Amino acid sequence: MIELLTPENGASVTLLNRKHVEYIRNPKNGSASKIDWLALRETQEDLSFPLPVRFTFSPAVPAVLVLRDPQGRERTVPAENGSAEVTNLLIDADYTWQIRTGHETSQTFSFHTDPTPPRLISVSGISNVRDFGGFRVADGGRVRQGMLYRTSEMDTHANITAEGIRTLTDELGIRTDIDLRGVGGEPRGPVLDPDIVRWYNFPLAAYADCFSETQLKLFGDSYRLLTDANIYPAICHCWGGIDRTGTWLYILGAMLGVSEDDLGLDYEFSSFSRWGCRSRHSEQFVGFLDGLRKFGSTLQERGKGFMKAAGLNDAELGRIRELLTEETRKYG
């Protein structure tokens, strides 16, 4: 008889490692030196990956882990030596699992994933991948998970593997690649199969450089894409997925009603990537926030004001909110 060991039935499971949790409890990045976001350098170990969930059982016979998500979809993973590991689970979600062998199926255990964002994602060959979903918004809901992901580029300075491509297209179901590269003739182009994933390019600038007339139009064109339900799930990226991507998502999150603290935390979480420290207190980031102030008195008004200045109307902003936000509990 197969005995399920861990996660224990009814357990709460964290998807963040100790350093991630410590940083969320006490964000401590001070003012960072000026970042040249068109000439990034790898300066440190990459710690931007989630903590895998480890499943154990006895006896340690060849078997298959069967994991069911909150919608009842099954995911099967080979289990060896009485264990298997899984990444990229939803946060704040109820899962069930059991073990199958050639002649036996175990009882079913359940567990709940910790609700703390950000939701980190592991994709072989690239880094700094995470779901923009999971953050609370001002009306009491939250940003919907599994809709919009941020990541580093997939080529040029990083090289996604075949396994990584399968993660994006098969596991996460990515259907749209929003490529923010191209300023100053920077290389850019589609990497994923164009028959599966549509590629759009908007050569955006970061921080206070986003406020020019040319950039406002580009930002508006890119945000308008988010009104189309058919583009989701989508990924957005620049080179490191930090500066231009961070600017683009900060404004979007502000419009959706994500708090200043959460948006600052999401921006700073890119410090766990290979491309060095970022701080909401840096001169570049403070200059960007100062520039946003002309668009409204509150952060949400500033996000809305920027996007309206970029050409979007109230109906389009409402459609984006409808698609990207939800009631608080949808994964239980």
CATH number at residue 287: 3.90.190.10
**Could you tell me which residues are beta bridge partners of residue 105?**
100
Q: Which domain holds residue 77?
A: 1-30+51-115
Per-residue model confidence (pLDDT) at position 184: 85
Tell me whether residue 45 is in a domain. no
pLDDT at position 330: 52
Residue 232: predicted pLDDT: 98
Same domain flag for 78 and 131: no
Instruction: Note the pLDDT tens digit of each residue in 300-321.
Output: 999 999 999 999 999 999 999 9
Residue 331 pLDDT: 53
- Whether 128 and 104 map to the same domain: the answer is no
**Does some domain include residue 272?**
yes
User: Apex CA 10: angle with CA 100 and CA 139, to 5°?
Assistant: 120
Say whether both 177 and 294 belong to one domain: yes
Domain identity same for 156 and 233? yes
Indicate whether 151 and 275 sit together in one domain. yes
- Answer yes or no: do 67 and 107 share one domain: yes
Write down the pLDDT at residue 36. Answer: 82
- What residues of the chain score a pLDDT lower than 70? 31-33, 329-332
Angle at 110 between CA 72 and CA 132, to 5 degrees: 65
Q: Specify if 41 maps to a domain.
A: no
Number of domain units in the chain: 2
